[in-house]
Amino acid sequence: MTNKIFLMFFLLTSTVFSYGQKDSTFQSRKKTLFKKSIVPLSLIGTGILLSDSGFEKSFNTTTRNWVGNDYETSLDDYTRYAPVATLYIADLAGVKAENHWFDQTKNLAISMILTDVFTRAIKKNIFKTRPDGSNDNAFPSGHTSITFASGSVVYEEFKNSNSLLAYSGYGFAT
């Protein structure tokens, strides 16, 4: 009788210690999403904590004193469209892309429109004063958001054929 009880106990509890198959699809997605979220959430949290802090004000003052209070450039008015130019120049040069130029244009238009809508909506609710004090819609930067959006389209088009070209769009946003 004791042997039967021991055998039943062993059979019922042996699955606890066995290494069977796992549902890796669900677990890997969850783990991957968590891992992908660590850096962006850390940066967002840091930005929220430093917003309107003494450090930010000191940094802006130091930068303005170093660069000069009258420093202005219109270069960023043109460089924000550099990834768009890269996209079409690469098409003309015959670089293999994921989509035809017409689909690229649709993807670019959709991303630009959505980026502009969200950027303007956030600007209306944040009220971040520009370093020169001219107005209170400094954040998020429309120039930077447009550049990142078009850079992302370039990345998606060329990530499998030319990695250098794929990442080049992000260089103009930084």
Q: Is residue 49 part of a domain?
A: no
Query: Which pLDDT score is estimated for 114?
Result: 94
Of the candidates 155, 174, 173, the one whose C-alpha atom is nearest the C-alpha of residue 163 is 155
Q: Is residue 65 part of a domain?
A: no
Query: What one-letter code names the amino acid at 15?
Result: T
Q: Which residue has the higher pLDDT, 19 or 38?
A: 38
Query: Which pLDDT score is estimated for 117?
Result: 93
Exposure b/e, 32-49, CB count within 10 A at least 16 = b: eeeeeeeeeeeeeeeeee
Which domain range does residue 137 map to? 97-174
Q: Is residue 30 part of a domain?
A: no
Q: Is residue 17 part of a domain?
A: no
Q: Is residue 62 part of a domain?
A: no
Q: Is residue 20 part of a domain?
A: no
Taking the alpha carbons of 115, 41, 125, 82 in that order, is the dihedral positive or negative?
negative
Give the mean model confidence (pLDDT) for residues 111-121: 92
Give the mean model confidence (pLDDT) for residues 61-78: 76
Of the candidates 107, 118, 106, 172, the one whose C-alpha atom is nearest the C-alpha of residue 142 is 118
Query: Which pLDDT score is estimated for 116?
Result: 92
Q: What pLDDT band is residue 108 in, cutting at 50, 70 and 90? A: very high
Number of domains in the chain: 1
Q: Is residue 145 part of a domain?
A: yes
Q: What pLDDT band is residue 134 in, cutting at 50, 70 and 90? A: confident
Report the first-to-last Cα separation within the chain, whole angstroms.
75
Choose the weakest-confidence range: 17-26, 86-95, 102-111, 134-143.
Answer: 17-26
| Count of C-beta atoms within a 10 Å radius of residue 86 | 23
pTM attached to this predicted model: 0.65
Q: Is the pLDDT of residue 6 over 60?
A: no
Q: Is residue 137 part of a domain?
A: yes
